[in-house]
Structure 1
Amino acid sequence: MINYVICFGLSLLVVTIGLKLFHLGERVVTPPAKRTTSSERLSSTFDSVRPLIGFNIDAQPPHPYAPWSGGKFQMTMGIRKTQEDSWLMLDNRYREEQSLRERLLENERAGVLQCLDGSEAACRETLEHITAFLTRRFPDLFFWSPNDSNYLCNGITGAAFRVVDPLEKHPLEIAARLVMEDMNLLIQGAGPDPDEHYLRASFSMAPAGWYLQERIGWPL
């Protein structure tokens, strides 16, 4: 069994004028009236997650992020336990940010997406967990295609992605086209130290102060 860590970080939204949405071979679909049986089956992985029926993404402002604690200042990593319902969040910047992600993947792919050998299983499992969570938490926005249950529909952008083998895109790219978070996958023992975790795959839309091409493969 591969031991790995998935680090999700809030992406920095870069305001870009004149973005054009490119459909890179996805199927454009309209949402069905209700969730399919396949969607409910996959969502059972997150049975404890409360579905947000009728969630209005356009009315949801960005979620505040304040990892600081009261008292004496101490420089620490911004890590804290989160509620399972809040694992992946959406807000009214989603469409704009997805347009930017699509443009970056098309024109600056190496700068935002890196996946080293040996990370394939971790990337696929990451996509599976994201798919299971989104179809459970936001069933009106993410659902299985009524025409082909192998495709997950993004009801916000109108695109659909094949999420079972054989995939038509890299699993981490599909994941990036579904969520607003950056994703960094660290795999234990994927380097000289068997106890260390190494960055083996990443989608980072706007890393602050570092370049993905330089840091991929580094230890935690």
Structure 2
Amino acid sequence: MSPILQDKIPYDVSSKSLPGTAPLEMRDWIIQDDAFAGQMALRDELIMTRRDDVIAMQNGSEESALELLETVLTWLGSHGTNYQIEAAHVTRPDGVLVPVERNQPMVTLGRLVQEDMCLMLKQGEEHVLTAAALCFPANWYLSEKVGRPLTLIHDPVPDYDESIAQRVQRLFDGVQPERPLWRFNALHYEDPVLFQPERRHGEYKGLHAEVFPFFRSERQCILRLPKTRACVFSIHTFVIAKGAQTGMEASP
């Protein structure tokens, strides 16, 4: 199977700091890029054949998951390019008809947009991952992270120490409806496959990175849902071949 690649990454990936967040306009939240058809076909396949690996929804997260679905449908109705929104279904820009299953909101979300969607609910002092449509994991299994607080979700990531974990938690505490934030990461990969839950040798930044032929970056957005106050962590995954162009401005 041919790799699913973008031609470029639309922001500057030459330098970053953790968590490295910046304000984001709601109109720029969801991206439709040149890998749309390939990524969406893969998402459909994964949800059909590996649903338990890519979809999760804990008891108690139903209301916030449904609010997220309605938020995405409203956004697509206002900003989505070539989406046709009906009450019972959505026709994607690639012509695929997606039933709007409100009793399965994360499944529907997983088939609507390129972004992976993770729902974080505040429980005690921390936000906990309670629901997700995660088709393109990078070095982690959804089943191992659902139900865990934010600081434990990131514990295998290099450079993610306690002070950074606290800063990220403050970001989730402070983000307000209609005022989302965004950041990105940047990793070098040997294998361009998008569904890559197992960590593979050398695929973190800094370990002989120049020998790996692919570059992977996640554009991560944080927003708060106004009704349930849940936080959404959305992830748009870019994979390009080394030598492809990248944007020169750090903007979404």
TM above 0.5:
yes
Once the two structures are TM-superposed, the CA of residue 109 in structure 1 deviates from its matched residue by 1.2
Instruction: Tell me how far apart the structure 1 counterparts of residues 20 and 3 of structure 2 sit (CA, whole Å).
Output: 34
Amino acid at match of 1:127: L
Once the two structures are TM-superposed, the CA of residue 77 in structure 1 deviates from its matched residue by 2.1
For 1:61-100, list aligned pairs within 5 A.
63-66=9-12, 74=17, 76-100=18-42
Structure with more relative contact order (C-alpha pairs < 8 Å, separation 6 or more): 1
Once the two structures are TM-superposed, the CA of residue 61 in structure 1 deviates from its matched residue by 5.4
**Cα distance change on mapping 1:18 and 1:196 into 2, 3 Å:** closer
How many residues end up aligned between the 2 structures?
A: 149
Amino acid at match of 2:59: D
TM-align CA RMSD = 2.7
Name the structure 2 match of 1:152: 90
Instruction: Tell me how far apart the structure 2 counterparts of residues 61 and 133 of structure 1 sit (CA, whole Å).
Output: 26
Amino acid at match of 1:183: M
Once the two structures are TM-superposed, the CA of residue 195 in structure 1 deviates from its matched residue by 2.5
For 1:96-135, list aligned pairs within 5 A.
96-135=38-77
Instruction: Tell me how far apart the structure 1 counterparts of residues 19 and 113 of structure 2 sit (CA, whole Å).
Output: 23
Amino acid at match of 2:125: D
**Cα distance change on mapping 1:96 and 1:142 into 2, 3 Å:** same
**Match for residue 205 of structure 1 among 128, 135, 141:** 135
Deviation string 1:181-216 (CA, Å, 9 cap, x unpaired) is 111111012xxxx23110001111222221111111
List alignment gaps of at least 5 residues for structure 1.
1-15, 20-59
The runs of at least 4 consecutive aligned structure 1 residues that moved more than 3 Å come to 16-19, 60-63, 65-69
Percent of pairs identical after alignment? 27
Give the number of the structure whose residues are more often strand, by fraction.
2
Instruction: Tell me how far apart the structure 2 counterparts of residues 93 and 209 of structure 1 sit (CA, whole Å).
Output: 21
List alignment gaps of at least 5 residues for structure 2.
151-252
